[in-house]
Structure formats: structure tokens, C-alpha cells
Structure 1
């Protein structure tokens, strides 16, 4: 047996110190990897904007994620393998050939606890803070190891290419929209975000993915003015309408020739009456003299683009046409804003309660023209709106026919009953989920 005085010499303690240092370096690499990959770039950007240089460094070092991960993994593997080799040599010196198994067991426990679990647990508890602290030393590591990492990247890409797989390090795994939507869903599920706030934010995010056709008022529901009507009839219709702007047509409703604003009309009528005899002034009044030129938009226009056009043109009203130029409906700036903030009503709107309440059987009575999106938002349902915009349209699409009154259907996990039908239109339905919906926390 070796003399203990020769076994525990300076070389022994230097080896122990080297193993301890390598374990600390391994913990640093493991914690840095977790912090830099788990941290939110949005939160780091907010910190950087407040003057945190560490957050700014973290943003820069995470721009090339493939290079970052390669450098960290290279450094981590080098120190882990080196520490395991030193431990094996140390235990072999102390215990002979039996020291190999003991060295493997001891180093597995040490690496697992002190180099993996503990630093990663600390890093994941506050990733942005840790990322800001480790970003600058990690940046130096990536610069030093960049030549080796570049070679490794070429080898990896070449091998993946043999299997037909391509990598794009510049692309993000998830879009910003998906990240925000996911964060809002998680926040709502945990109770940190109210349903109304979630709906408003998601509504604003979805404007670019939705078209005018999905929210427009159908042409069958548009109040219009016949240009051939006498001035007194036109004035009566405008005053009786709940809308400020009304399209004007000649001969047929498809032939829209202008849009009259109630305030412009009243000003013109007042001027005509004041300048001539009351009867003659109204008899000679021409509505086209005060009507604005109609503004037509394609039904495929994205909502965010249409909102920008409204603001640019300083108008709130547009007529929607299809690819053949036929009138489909109309859309207003208020319609787009309602997709964000919900239903907007004023003193001139119909005094209808927009809140849906179930009956004793759990059925909700809805109008056929109610959009699926509005129904989903109000009741937190998940009916698909890919093939139809309205509830009635969804039923017709799934039934592949126009159902009769009283018919019942079940699809997508919901029960639909046709309550009333007027000619070829389903005007009212009763809907309920087939499975009970859990109340929100």
C-alpha cells in the first residue's frame, strides 16, 4: 500500500482543486445555457431600454442561437470530460483499478447536482437576470471558440443535409404573434389576465390575419337611399335611420352612386329652404349635390390594412365588392374597432342586450347572422370559422343544405337546433356544447 504522505501530496490537492474548478465552470455553462435560451427577448429589450448593459449584451449574444448553443455545449462537454478524466486518474491512484467505478459514481452525482440541476434551477427561476449577468463572459467564450464551432456547424449541417433536413438559424421557432398569444392564454388560465383584456389584445393581433369579408355588414342589411325619391322622403329616411352615413343608389341597389352624410344633408336642406320658398327649395333639391363619392374596397382586404386606409383617407365608411365588382356589403371603422374592444353602442343603437344567457337546458339562442368569432369571444368557445363567418353559415356548410325549421345537428362538439327560418335564411338557432363547459376560475 502506498505511503499516505506520498498519496496526498501537492499533485493530489492540485487535481482536487482542478476538478472543483471544472465543476464550477460546468455549472456556469449549464446555467448560462438555460438562462439565455429561456429568457424572453421582449423582457431583455425592456431592460436594455432602461439602460441595463447586461441585457443589451444578452440580446446580442442570442442573435445567433446556433453559434451560442454550439459554443456553450462545446465548453460544457470539454470541462465535464476533463473533470471526469481527472477524477478517474485520482481515484485510480488511490484505489487502483477499482477506482474507475467509484470515480464514475462520484462524478455523476457531483455533475448532476452541482453542475446541472442546481445552476439550471437557479437560472430558470429568473432567466432575464441571470442572462444579463452571464452574457458578457459567454460572448467572450463564443468568440474564442467560434473557429471550432464553425467547423462543427458545417459538419452538422452536412450530415443533416444527407437526410434532406435543412436548418435556418435566422428563423425563429415561433412568431412574435404566437408568443404573445400563448403568453396571454397562459396568463388567462392562471388568472393573471382577465378575459376581456385577453380578447382585446388578441383582437388587435388578429387584424392582419382577417379580411374585410369576415366582419362586413351584408348587403341585405344595408340601409340605402334611392336617389329618385323626393327630397322630403329622403330627409325622413335619413332622420329615421340610426346611421350617419347612407349609400345612395340609382334604379337598382347594386348601382351605388354616392354616400350621403346626415349632417351634410341637413346643412344642404337648411340652405335650400332659406334661399327659396320652402316648397320650391325642397322640390328642386338634388341629393347628389351633397353625396360623397363612394369608396369601394375588395372583400379580401386585411383588416389592419383597411384601418390604415380609413385613417389615411380620413373616412370611416367603405362599400365592399367582390372580384367581379358586385356589391357584397359595407364596412366602417367602428366595425374594425369592435373586433378589438367588443361591441360599441350609443344612444342611437337598438337597445338590445348583447349578452347571451343560457336557458334551463344550457341552450343559447343566437341570431343566424351572428359571427362565429363574436360567439366564441363571448362564450369562450372554439367553433371553427375557416369555412363560414356566421353561425348560420357554419350550419349550412356542415349540413350541405339549407336546414328546415326544427332540424337538429351535432358537430364540432356542439348541438345546433334551427329555431326559425325565413325563406332561404336561418334567422335564429339554439346552440349548446355537448360536454359541460367548466366554469372559469
Structure 2
């Protein structure tokens, strides 16, 4: 009797049907993995807020990504191995020893096309829709496979620990904050986000990572009022100033006792001039301490994000920055923080500043040493680091580990720095150009 006559065709058809069913399950697991990892949680959240129960379920499923991926991969491996085993048995029964090679070729083609490429292509094309469709089933699969997944996770950590590699189960590979910043930077690189938009968005996201000391006006540049000055001198100083708020000190500039607002001064002068028995002679009775506000001090380590919230909560725009010893370091305003987001804000009373940095013929920029690294990076689209220094001069001093003299040249971070001018221990001007 011919060997083909001994084949149990019922069992053969049953095995073939089981293989097809397992391939369908493999396609489901492969597509689910791609859809649930590629879906935008922001879009799913938007759909869930609009009442989509499927989107809500997809959000819940993707909450624990490690548990999700482990369960899906486990299910996918089980059905792939089982389908390969059944195919080997089927083709061996049909073709003898040569059936192993035939089964390998056939299953590789079927799994590659129908269980991998096709479902993953659909999933990556419609990730939110696909994730919403598969989420209810995956939500059932995860609890079933959880014990095995937990054991595998513990085993993997133990093996890695034996090689000195420690893993934090609660640590995300990339936080949402970093993902957003990376997406904005990538969008600018690819031309989808304008430089100005990138700077504004990154500036807003970066407020929690920056401190008051980085953007404050240094104490050497603060315009102050001496409480012991004659009233007419105080009035002249306020009228000549372009600022609406001026710190008031007694005896020495470090001893700030209040903040004078020009509107409060104007009201006080108006009462003295136009009140009963008033006149120019009454100005001599003016006492600045009666109209000044209590000073608001903050530590230099306050983040810009926290300080902006404090400004809004206190209904004030002006704060004096002190170090850990309570020594005055500078001042910061709400406008300073907003400028970190939208760029320089000027009005008709601000001193005109050069808005554009123009390079020389050889690509060299002449930079004020007091310019902040962040402003320089914004205006030139460079990426000089500002971790160790706030100003360009500070970066040069940090890298040189000394206060350089005029004419000294340094090369670091892909740029050439030449000290062009110096006053006392301050670098006032630098010539910078990119290398290469």
C-alpha cells in the first residue's frame, strides 16, 4: 500500500487548521504589540475624554508597559513555537524526513508575511484605532500571563545583577517631559517646527530645570535709592530711571529695606503738592520709608517655574535674590522669566540693544562676555553647554581654570574662543567662531 494511503486526512486537516488559527493569533499578538507601543497616549486620552471606552481601556493597558510587552511577547512566542512544531509534524508525516526543511521554509514565509509584516504594517498605520480594538482582549491576556511574566522579570534582573547591572523597575526610560522636548527638537531638525516656536516651547518646558541665579540681574547692575538722600534727589533719580520699581537701601547697598514703586511716589508727591497747605516747600517733608513696599527676598536656588507661580500667587513682579548666607546677589522680575520663553521684551523706555549677531568674514562673532550662554545659543542656534556657567565669559573661565588675559585663545566644545577685552578680573568681550 502506498504511504500516502496511510495518511489520516482528518487529523491532517485538523492540524492544518490549528496552524492557521495559531498564525492568526501570532498576527494578533504582533499587531497588538506594535499598536499599543506606537499609539499616542495623548490622542488616546483625547478620545477617552470624548467618551471612547475602547480608548480608555487602551490607556489602562499601556499603563504598565513592561508588563504589557512581556505578556504580548510571551503569547506570541508560545503560538509561534507551537505552530512551528505542528507544521514540522504535519510536513514530516506528508513528506518524510524532507518535511522538516519544507516546514521551515513554509512557516518562515507564512509567519514573516502574515504574522509579522502585515499586522505590524496595519498597526503602525493606524495605531490608535488598532490599539483600541485589541485592548479589551489584551486586558484579559495580561492577568493570565502575569505570573510567568513576573517570574521572567525577576529572573532577568537576577541574571543582570550577577553581572553588576542594576535595574530600577519603577524607572521610565524616558519621561514625558523628555519625550516632548525630543519631539520638538526633532521637529525643528526636520523642518516642521520654526526656530522661534522651538525656542518658545523649549523655554517653557525648561523653566523647572533653571534657577533664579541664572537669569537674575547682578547686584552690581541694580539701580538703587539711598533712603538718606534728599527728597528732590530721590525724585530726580526716579524720573531719570527707566524702571518702575527701585530697591531702597540704608547705609550700604547690601542693606535693602524696601522697594519704591514710581506710582506710590507719584501719589505721595501729589498729596504734598495739592493737599491742604501743600506746595513745593512741602516736598521737604517727603519720607520715602512711608511709601516704599516691604522687600521680597528669594533664595538663588529657586527654580524659575516655582518663582513664576510665586509671583502670580503674591501678585508681585519683583524679587531680590540672596545666597545661603542672606547676602544680596541680584534681582529677578516676572518679565525676566517670561523672556526665557518668548525672548527679549522691550518697550519705549528700554535701552536699544543690537538684535542680530553678525559674523565677520571668517565666521567670527564678537560677543559681550556678560551675555548668557542660553541667549547666545538662541541667537546663533549653537549648543554650547550651560551646566557649569551662566555667561559666555564664565564658560571660558571654567574651561581655562584661570582668568585669561587679552589675546589668549582656547578651543573647546567645537569652538574657538579668543579673549578680546578685559576689565580688572572681568572678561568683557570675546571673539568666537565654530571650528571646522
The TM-score with structure 1 as length reference comes to: 0.93
Partner of residue 306, structure 1? 307
Distance of 1:148 and 1:220 partners within structure 2: 65
CA contact (8 A) 1:64 1:170 kept: no
Distance of 2:171 and 2:401 partners within structure 1: 41
Distance 1:268 1:66, change over 3 A: same
Distance of 2:311 and 2:230 partners within structure 1: 32
Partner of residue 24, structure 1? 24
Distance of 1:303 and 1:403 partners within structure 2: 32
Query: 1:339: Cα distance to partner?
Result: 0.8
CA contact (8 A) 1:370 1:390 kept: yes
Aligned ranges 1:3-22 → 2 under 5 Å: 7=7, 9-22=9-22
Matched, 1:258 2:249: no
Partner of residue 341, structure 1? 342
Partner of residue 434, structure 2? 433
Distance 1:3 1:98, change over 3 A: closer
* SS of equivalent residue, structure 2 residue 298: strand
Query: 1:15: Cα distance to partner?
Result: 2.2
CA contact (8 A) 1:369 1:391 kept: yes
Give a deviation string over 1:293-328, Cα, whole Å, max 9, x none.
111111111111111111111110011111111110
Distance of 2:155 and 2:396 partners within structure 1: 55
Partner of residue 410, structure 2? 409
Aligned ranges 1:234-253 → 2 under 5 Å: 234-253=234-253
Query: 1:70: Cα distance to partner?
Result: 2.4
Partner of residue 438, structure 1? none
Matched, 1:79 2:97: no
CA contact (8 A) 1:65 1:169 kept: no
Give a deviation string over 1:235-257, Cα, whole Å, max 9, x none.
11111111110011112111111
Partner of residue 192, structure 2? 192
* SS of equivalent residue, structure 2 residue 355: coil
Partner of residue 369, structure 2? 368
Query: 1:53: Cα distance to partner?
Result: 2.0
Partner of residue 207, structure 2? 207
* SS of equivalent residue, structure 1 residue 171: coil
Aligned ranges 1:25-40 → 2 under 5 Å: 25-40=25-40
Greater Cα offset, 83-92 or 8-17: 8-17
Aligned length: 435
Partner of residue 386, structure 1? 387
Distance of 2:205 and 2:243 partners within structure 1: 28
Distance of 1:420 and 1:147 partners within structure 2: 69
* SS of equivalent residue, structure 1 residue 344: coil
Distance of 2:263 and 2:305 partners within structure 1: 28
Aligned ranges 1:152-301 → 2 under 5 Å: 152-163=152-163, 165=165, 167-275=167-275, 276-301=277-302
* SS of equivalent residue, structure 1 residue 179: helix
Partner of residue 355, structure 2? 354
Partner of residue 68, structure 2? 68
CA contact (8 A) 1:33 1:72 kept: yes
The two structures, once aligned, show a CA RMSD in angstroms of 1.9
Distance of 2:404 and 2:159 partners within structure 1: 58
Query: 1:5: Cα distance to partner?
Result: 6.2
What 5-or-longer segments of structure 2 have no aligned partner? none
What 5-or-longer segments of structure 1 have no aligned partner? 436-441
Give a deviation string over 1:109-167, Cα, whole Å, max 9, x none.
21122211222222223322211111111112223333444444454455455555555
